[in-house]
Structures are given as C-alpha cells and as structure tokens.
C-alpha cells in the first residue's frame, strides 16, 4: 500500500475517542489500518462539498416516497407472545434459569 500524502484529518486522538465510544478493543495493527482507511474515505466524501446545494433542498432519507396509498397500514399495537421463548434465551452466550447473565455492571454516581 503506497503511503498517503494527504493530511490525516481524523487524528489519532479523534480516532481513539471514536474507538472508545464504539466500545471496540483494537490491536495496534488494526488501528493503523482503520485510521488510514477512514482518512482515505473522508477524502472521497469531501467531493460532496463541491456541489452547490440550496438551503431549501430537502433531504432524502428514503429513496421511494411513500404516499397515502402505498404506505402500509400499521398493525394494531397488540402484544403477541413469541411461541418459543426458550429459542431466544438459548442464543444468549450465558444464561441461567431463564435469565441472561452478564459481568458486573459498573455504576457511576452522577453529580
């Protein structure tokens, strides 16, 4: 991989903060790869800044607009029991007597 000549817009400090928020433990080799690729992707994203966008241009959060006739009717908000709850509990990495078991939950007293 050629060495990037671009400035590192996402610094190691910002990167480490993101990693902390994302709750992902990384090995250093992984961190170096991810930091480099994030900056490469950001360079591509900057192409969007060259596009003149009017302030009143609406956003599109979903490609196909839903109309009154195409928007599906919502179900009634009624509780339905899942027929095999044990199948769900069985997927938990650790469970006991129908409860999911986790390590100690740290508590912080808010000031």
For binding to another protein (CB under 8 A), which residues are involved? Answer: 1-6, 10, 14-15, 18-19, 21-26, 30, 33-34, 37-49, 51, 53, 57-64, 66, 69-75, 82, 84, 87-88, 90-94, 100, 102-106
Helical axes 28-45 vs 12-22, angle rounded to 10°: 110
Tokens coding 106: 């740290």
CB of 45 to another protein, least distance (A): 5
Residue with Cβ nearer another protein (69 or 109): 69
Residue with Cβ nearer another protein (91 or 109): 91
How many Å is the maximal CA-CA distance in the chain? 60
Evaluate whether 31 touches 15 at the Cβ level (below 8 Å): yes
Tokens coding 22: 């994302």
Tokens coding 40: 């490469």
Q: Is 96 helix (H, G, I), strand (E, B) or coil?
A: strand
CB of 87 to another protein, least distance (A): 4
Residue with Cβ nearer another protein (98 or 103): 103
CB of 111 to another protein, least distance (A): 20
């Amino acid at each position: 991989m050629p060495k990037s000549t671009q400035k590192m817009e996402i610094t190691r400090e910002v990167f480490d903060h993101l990693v902390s928020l994302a709750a992902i433990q990384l090995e250093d080799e992984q961190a170096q790869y991810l930091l480099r690729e994030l900056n490469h992707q950001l360079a591509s994203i900057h192409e969007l800044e060259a596009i003149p966008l009017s302030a009143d241009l609406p956003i599109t959060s979903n490609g196909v607009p839903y109309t009154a006739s195409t928007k599906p009717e919502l179900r009634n908000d009624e509780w339905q029991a899942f027929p095999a709850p044990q199948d769900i509990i069985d997927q938990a990495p650790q469970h006991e007597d129908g409860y999911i078991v986790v390590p100690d939950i740290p508590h912080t007293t808010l000031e």
